[in-house]
Each structure stands twice: as structure tokens, then as C-alpha cells.
Amino acid sequence: MPRPYILAELTWKTVRATRYDVAVLPWGATEAHNFHLPYGTDNIQAEDLAARAAERAWQRGAKVVVLPGVPFGVNTGQLDIPLCINMNPSTQALLLRDVAMSLAGQGIGKLVIFNGHGANDFRQMIRELQPQVSLFLCTVNWYKVVDPKPFFTDLGDHAGELETSVMQHVAPDLVLPLSEAGSGAARKFKIAAFREGWAWAPRNWRQVTDDTGSGNPAAATAEKGKRYVEAVTGKIADFLIELARSDTSKLYEDQ
């Protein structure tokens, strides 16, 4: 059965009879994820969690539709790793503009960019694009919606316990046994300011990690992934419902 909130599964017969309030655009990356997770990890997670959140919102009456995801992220620090595919921020901005302008011309009022890759950053793109389009633009990084600390013991940021647990829950057939995984050991910057995070420079991934992971996946379980995914998608579903109902010209508290 086609899911009524997944555009790729819908026909024109359904679409022409439905008024959608919110479009959700999953956006991931194509990159190595240690030895045990697939290159499509960020795309699989973004599309799957967007669908779960949209399902929960749809069941409560919100007219939400998830668009096909964009599979390429900013990966300028991994260009020397075979088949990591980089899409530059300036290219992403043009792609986003075309998608947003298509939807705006069709009367869709709101677009949520559902991001699943740490090096993608849509905020500046939205600042630049928003004055040019009539639909409301916003972005969510799904891995920042719920504090992961109560769920996981090792908080790495790439192919670690969090991502591995989520994948064990949503796509278990694509996860190799954890005995195949590297330790995800990541080298820190020597310069204190970068280490402390108040000065920033992109990391060269090959020099940071030997197995392409950053964070130890050893303690990952599907059960942890399930609990975290349920918390994240529940919170995003509430947001989608609230956004669908909102008049985006009146977003602020009354005086």
C-alpha cells in the first residue's frame, strides 16, 4: 500500500485531490561509515526518520509530504576516500532554490529540510533564499533534536554508537556484525582552540581516523536505536503538526 505522506509512492490521482501544507526534504550524504555501515547511511536514516515522523503527523491530521531525498552532502574533507561524493554548499544552494521555487509555484506553504549529515548546513542558504520565495523555509538536524546522552555511552559523531544503533533499528540487513567494525578512534587537533571548539576549521578525515569512523560503535544495539528513533520522531512529528497549522506570517508571541 502506498503511504499517503511519501511522494515517491503517490499518483497524480491522489496528489491532485490533496492539499499539502508541509513538504519535507530529506538530505544526506554518500560517504564511508567505518567498516560496518553502508555509504548510504545518512540518506537511509534521513529518509527513514522523516517518513516515521511524517507518518505520526499524518495520523494526527497534518498534511505532510516527504519528498525524495538528496543523496549528496558536503564532503570536501573526504575527497581522497574512494566513492565519497562531495556536493559543494554553493551547488546545494542552487538545488535547494530549484526545489523551493517549484513548490512555491504550486502553492505548498512550508518546506522543512530534514538534514542527516553533519557537514551540511542549510541555515545560510535559507537566509539567502527566503526573501526570494513565498514558501516558508526551515531546517532540522535530526540528530540534534533529542539529547543523546541518556541513550548512548559513547557520543562519537560519525558511524559511532548513535548512528550504528539507529541503523541496527531501521536497516538491520545493511549493518555488518560489530566484530567487523573499527574502533572509530579519532585524533584531536593539537591546537587547543580547535580542540575546545571556539576556533573552527574543517577536519581532514583521512588524518583524523583510520577506519573513517569517529566514535566507538561497540556498545550499539537495535534496542537503543529504537528508543532514540521513537523519541526523535515523536518530537519532530509534534513540530510538523504545529508547523502545518501555523500561520507563518504570525510566528511570534503576542505582546
Contact 92, 28 (CB under 8 A): no
Residue 37 C-beta: closest distance to Zn ion, Å: 7
Binding segment (CB under 5 A) for Zn ion, from list 35-43, 82-90, 93-101, 130-138:
35-43
Give the nearer residue to Zn ion in terms of CB position, either 73 or 109.
73
Q: Closer CB to Zn ion, residue 5 or residue 152?
A: 152
Nearest distance from C-beta of residue 75 to Zn ion, angstroms: 11
CB of 118 to Zn ion, least distance (A): 7
Q: Is 30 helix (H, G, I), strand (E, B) or coil?
A: strand
Number of residues lying near Zn ion (CB under 5 A): 2
Stretch that binds Zn ion, among 33-41, 95-103, 174-182, 244-252 (CB under 5 A): 33-41
Q: Is 47 in the site for Zn ion (CB under 5 A)?
A: no
Contacts 24+ apart (CB under 8 A), 242-247: 243/21, 243/22, 243/110, 243/112, 243/138, 244/21, 244/22, 244/57, 244/62, 244/63, 244/64, 244/110, 245/21, 245/62
Cβ proximity to Zn ion: between 133 and 174 the closer is 174
Of 34-42, 143-151, 182-190, 192-200, the window that binds Zn ion (rule: CB under 5 A) is: 34-42
Residue linked to cell 541518556: 150
The distance of closest approach from Cβ of residue 116 to Zn ion in the complex, given in angstroms and rounded to an integer, is 7
Q: Are 201 and 63 in contact (CB under 8 A)?
A: no
| Residue 21 interacts with Zn ion (CB under 5 A): yes or no | no
Binding status of residue 211 toward Zn ion by CB under 5 A: no
CA angle 101, 104, 109 (to 5 degrees): 140
Cell numbers describing residue 198: 571556539
By the criterion CB under 5 A, which residues form the site for Zn ion?
A: 41-42
